[in-house]
Structure 1
Amino acid sequence: MTKWLVSTALALSLASPAVAADYQPDPNAKPGGSITITYKDDVATLDPAIGYDWQNWSMIKSIFDGLMDYVPGTTELRPGLADSYEISPDGTTFTFKLRPGVKFHNGREMTAEDVKYSLDRVTSPATQSPGAGFFASIKGYDQMMDGSATSLAGVTVVDPLTVRVELSRPDATFLHVMALNFASVVPREAVEAAGGDFGKQPVGTGAYKLAEWTLGQKLVFEKNADYWREGVPYLDSIVFEVGQEPIVALLRLQKGEVDVPGDGIPPAKFVEVMGDPAQAARVVEGGQLHTGYITLNVTVPPLDKPEVRKAINMAINKERITQIINGRAKPATQPLPPSMPGYTEGYAGYPFDVEGAKKLLADAGLADGFETELFVMNTDPNPRIAQAIQQDLAAIGVKASIQSLAQANVIEAGGAGTAPMIWSGGMAWIADFPDPSNFYGPILGCSGAAEGGWNWAKYCNKALDAKATEADSITDPAKTEERMKLWSDVYMGVMEDAPWVPVFNEQRYTMKSERMGGADALYVDPVSIPVNYDYVYVK
């Protein structure tokens, strides 16, 4: 799972009908049975246009489908509700042929009208979708945003099983966008009947449908007997128990009462679990498109000086921080994780050099250091990581007071631009899709620096933005190498400006009970985070 397919970037530019090789079901899989998953927190929503956290992502993916999908356990694109697709030679028109006979959970057959309605809905300001910006390349998006249109001009229903999407510019990531939860196809009548509560009454075409939801206690998914993919899902039902402390969930797994602890292995128990052969045998490890970082707000003095930001990069002992999480990560040198296309091989990043950092501060007129604030999410191990960062900064004369807050409060401060520094742990970026553009626009691009955005460094380099747009306009598969070189240049430009301290690239660890079957990759699925429920089974 740590080897990603650069070919995912190639699959975006085919100018003829394309169908990916499909997944071969596990010959050992047995249908039937129920499994129990635990989470500490309740689920906020199951509306695919709204849900955007690691907890509900795979749940939503099991209830809904989009035109595109990924081969389970990989980052390889395949058609979903689209039976096939064609792309115009200039890369701006996508024509999708839909699978016939696909039914929503309410029994109605899905048509091209549902695809258009769903794309109009996710880009409507009234929906307040955090994923609306992913669709910015579709013609008419700007008019939807400013309220001058109520429908995307670029999405046309050709016939009941054909939909055409026209872009205002070539977009090498568009098929990945069509595989996001935000692009899920929903039935208008169910959305309208829910009266604003579709997130609690979801209706999709997915492998499972919601059977029960007792707030604060549990959600029950049951198998969709009419699912359009033959042979799956295997399970009859899935029970998601909420309000379970991670340590209690681990104890229950050891007793056979829980099949997957959704919150993972508690940090405080990690060494104990890995030291016990019986427990370690049930641990699944996988890579992820993730970087943990410190944001440096470039609008707050003295962090507005590049040499100060570079000094902070040189002050942080990343090796020591990885030990705080029991070595479950590798030190990072740049924003992109190593498994992402566009990663710059051989780039060493800023060295850990306390004396060099002090000199940079002195050159900036801050030989005596300065005072600042470091915001951090208040769940373990993040406060401990913040303390290590605080100690490293103190060694160069920077006195950082720690503001340890609930996740929502840290996100709010980051979006508002009131936090000078933020340790991203527990909120760090995991790519929505396996392409370097997804690590830039939302968290480093000028658009993400707007109030409420996820670019907490409030960093905006318009020359790099232009280069990023140039990279994503390259859709010719013969020029993939050129596109990735542009992306490498973008991230090297970011590192020269130093709005971040990239700290580590974390591995994912989870556990499964002895009775769970299916490839390990399904339990650390890179896009159905955290688990691909459609393909796991009970042995």
Structure 2
Amino acid sequence: MKQVTRWLLGVILLGLAYAQGAKDTVYVSFKDDISTLDPAIGYDWQNWSIIKSIFDGLLDYEPGTTKLRPHLAEKYSLSADGRTYTFVLRKGIRFHNGRMLTAQDIKYSLERTLNPSTQSPGQSFYLGIAGAKAFAEGKAKEVSGIQVVNAETVRITLEKPDASFLHKLALNFAYAVPREEVERWGKDFGKHPVGTGAFRLKEWILGQRVVLERNPNYFIPGRPRVKQIVFVIGLDPNVAYLRFQRGEIDLLGDGIPPARFNEVMSNPKLRALVAIGDQLNTVFVALNTQVKPLNDLRVRQALNMAIDKEKIVRIINNRAIPAVQILPPLMPGYAKDYMGYPYDPAKAKKLLAEAGYPDGFSTVLFANNTDPNPRIAQSIQQDLANIGVRVELKTLAQSTVIQAAGTPGQAPMVWSGGMAWIADYPDPNNFYWPILSCAAAVPGGWNWAWYCNKKLELRAQELDAMVRPEQQAQRVAGYRDLFLEIMKDAPWIPIFHEKRYTIRSARLGGPDSIYVDPIHIPVNYEEVYIK
């Protein structure tokens, strides 16, 4: 009897310990393992917000917004010529290993991202720093434009003014890392991350779990708001959903399974747990402006009028809003009063006849072969058939589609679903330079429309030179007009702006913006709390 009593007591104590731990722990599910937690390398939606929980940059955004504010930097100033930024660090910030952060760490971290041996996908964001290109090409041992003034002050000088540069410094590629830890772990630093962030890595068992624990020395009082976050790895989204229903998972990292979406949204109790938010993305069809007959403006305008966007949105369970322009609604410069090209197949046919194609023509549409993209491609095919345009579908692996789209003359039309543009930072120039500029219309680039308007490119350069706070309203208005001019040229058919849907357990508190943060994609773990 005593043995049975002791056994029961042990079970009870174990259960109480688990319950107490769960009170302070948030559980997140993922199907696939996290690729890396190295801020210079991580560049996907899965590791983005986790990296932001472990590391910090000179600047960050107010939670749930696109508004910049000082972060590791206590303050900063800009020179009269708009090229030199001087940042003064907050005092007393420590890395997770206990060492104090200094200005030298900021210089080292930026130079590490610029160093080709790091293979950072963010290198190009910082090539505008004076001396960065020479350093990246191995012609200089350091970046001349990054100067350590003293232990608490770093000065960064650009080749020319760049109004989006502060946003680039808020990207994870510019986050502070300690040199000694990078050198200690080498290529494995991404599995042994050490930063200054709200959480620090406690445990990582590949294929099973990643555990973050609260950083007791974090410099923002009251943050983070939970003791631990456990990322449970290897759960199929449908299995994760069942565990969510049993109260074992707090957040579905891979989102609501498509097969369960209608079930969730039609159940009042479950619907109340769903957070919905806008994203900085636009999903589109790129029209190759260098390939006949798409090199005719009237043809591109006709194609814009032939697509039933509402029907496509229904295919994805209405998890988006139809797009009428290139910029998403959350982006500065979005034209609220612009109506775009109407859905008008009759007028589309008329335009094709004017262009010399009264009986239509044949073309090819490339698309990602992951559901629901083939179904959307078929919907586009049907709509274009209604105006006489015969579309051959090539639904292929994502990497194959990207390669074809970046090869001159190979892909007349590209459906961007699964590869759609999500802004790296909330500045309108990020929807121009990488995907619609002359500079990006190169083999291997992301300007899949091969669109080039040199007058607009010069205009974009002028707008980016407007760095003063008092110039920002004028700059945003300028980009609004620039994108409306691009829409006149119709290099894209904007289809929809996808919304983010996340379901969280009833025990988690806070506004939707925590769980569908437009910057800390998808979740701002620093702000998550348990009721």
Is the shorter-chain TM-score for this pair beyond 0.5, marking a shared fold? yes
Separation in structure 2 between the aligned mates of residue 197 and residue 226 of structure 1, nearest angstrom: 25
| 2:520 counterpart SS class | coil
Shift of 1:316: 0.7
The SS at the match of 2:149 is: strand
1:185 and 2:159 correspond: no
User: What is the letter of the counterpart of residue 488 of structure 1?
Assistant: R
Indicate the larger mover: 272-281 or 379-388: 379-388
Paired residue for 1:296? 287
Q: State which of 367, 392, 404 in structure 1 corresponds to 2:383.
A: 392
Deviation for aligned residue 1:357: 1.8
Tell me whether 352-361 or 497-506 shows the greater mean CA deviation: 352-361
* Matches of 1:295 and 1:244, distance apart in 2: 35
DSSP 3-state at the match of 1:198? helix
Which runs of structure 1 show a deviation greater than 4 angstroms over 4 or more consecutive aligned residues?
none
What aligned pairs does 1:23-422 form with structure 2 within 5 A after superposition?
33-417=24-408, 418-422=410-414
Secondary structure of 2:367's aligned partner:
strand
By how many angstroms is 1:216 displaced?
2.9
In structure 1, give the amino acid aligned to 2:518: P
Q: Which amino acid aligns with 1:496?
A: K
Letter in 2 for 1:479: Q
CA contact (8 A) 1:31 1:235 kept: no
The equivalent residue for 2:465 is 473
Q: One-letter code of the match for 1:61?
A: K
Mapped to 1, the partners of 2:262 and 2:330 lie a distance apart of 26
How far apart, CA to CA, are the structure 1 residues paired with 2:230 and 2:445? 34
Q: CA offsets, 1:93-136, max 9 Å, x none?
A: 11101112212122221111110011111122222222222223
Sequence identity percentage: 57
* Aligned residue identity for 2:481: D
Could you tell me how far apart the structure 2 residues matched to 1:104 and 1:308 are? 57
Equivalence for 2:10: none
Post-superposition offset of 1:407: 3.0
Q: Which has the larger radius of gyration?
A: 2
Cα shift readout 1:152-197 (whole Å, capped 9, x = no counterpart): 2111000011000111222111211111111111112222222223
2:422 corresponds in structure 1 to 430
User: Can you list the C-alpha shifts for 1:260-315, whole angstroms capped at 9, x where unaligned?
Assistant: 11121223322221110111011111122221111122233332332222221111
Q: Distance in 2 between matches of 1:406 and 1:250?
A: 27
- SS of equivalent residue, structure 2 residue 330: coil
Structure 1 residues 232 and 357: CA distance shift in structure 2, 3 A? same
Q: CA deviation at 1:410?
A: 2.9
The alignment partner of 1:52 has SS state of coil
Which residue identity does 1:475 align to in structure 2? V
Deviation readout 1:70-105 (Å, 9 max, x if unpaired): 111221211111111112233221110111221212
User: Which residue does the alignment assign to 2:437?
Assistant: 445
How far apart, CA to CA, are the structure 1 residues paired with 2:432 and 2:205? 38
Judged with a 3 Å threshold, the aligned counterparts in structure 2 of structure 1 residues 236 and 407 are, in CA distance, closer, same or farther, namely: farther
Secondary structure in structure 1 of the residue aligned to 2:187: coil
Superposition deviation, residue 32 in structure 1: 6.3
Alpha carbons 1:415, 1:453 under 8 Å: kept = yes
1:316 counterpart letter in structure 2: I
1:31, distance to aligned residue in structure 2 (A):
11
Structure 2: state its 5+ residue gaps.
Answer: 1-20
The 2-side partners of 1:499 and 1:419 are apart by 13
Give the CA deviation at 1:145.
Answer: 4.1
Residue 493 of structure 2: aligned partner: 501
- Partner Cα distance (1:505, 1:373) in 2: 24
Match of 2:527 in 1: 535
Write the distance in 2 (CA, Å) between the matches of 1:116 and 1:402. 49
- How many Å separate the matches in 1 of 2:443 and 2:68? 33
Distance 1:345 1:535 in 2: 31
Q: Distance in 2 between matches of 1:146 and 1:299?
A: 33
Are residues 162 and 442 of structure 1, via their aligned partners in 2, closer, same or farther at CA, if it must alter by over 3 Å?
A: same
Q: Which shows bigger deviation, 53-62 or 223-232?
A: 223-232
My pick for the range that moved more, 377-386 or 507-516, is 377-386
Secondary structure, in 3 states, of the residue corresponding to 2:328?
coil
Following the alignment from structure 1 to structure 2, what is the Cα–Cα distance between the partners of residues 365 and 299? 17
1:321-373 CA distances to partner (integer Å, 9 max, x unpaired)? 11222222221111011232112232211121212222322333333333332
Matched residue, 1:18: none
Residue identity matched to 2:471: K
CA distance in 2, matches of 1:184, 1:149: 22
Q: What is the aligned counterpart of 1:462 among 444, 454, 466?
A: 454
Unaligned runs of 5+ in 1: 1-29
TM-score (norm 1): 0.90
Is this contact kept in 2: 1:32–1:234, CA < 8 A?
A: no
Shift of 1:399: 2.2
- Residues 31 and 234 in structure 1, CA contact (< 8 A), matched pair in contact too: no
Q: Which amino acid aligns with 2:319?
A: R
Which shifted more, 423-432 or 364-373? 364-373
Give the secondary structure class of the aligned counterpart of 2:104: helix
Change in Cα spacing, 1:40 to 1:447, as seen in structure 2 (3 Å) is: farther
How many residues are treated as equivalent by the alignment? 510
- Separation in 1 of the partners of 2:170 and 2:448? 27
CA distance in structure 2 between the aligned counterparts of 1:404 and 1:482, rounded to whole angstroms: 43
Counterpart of 1:25? Answer: none
Cα distance change, pair 475–306 in 1 and its aligned pair in 2 (3 A): same
User: 1:344–1:488: 8 Å Cα contact kept in structure 2?
Assistant: yes
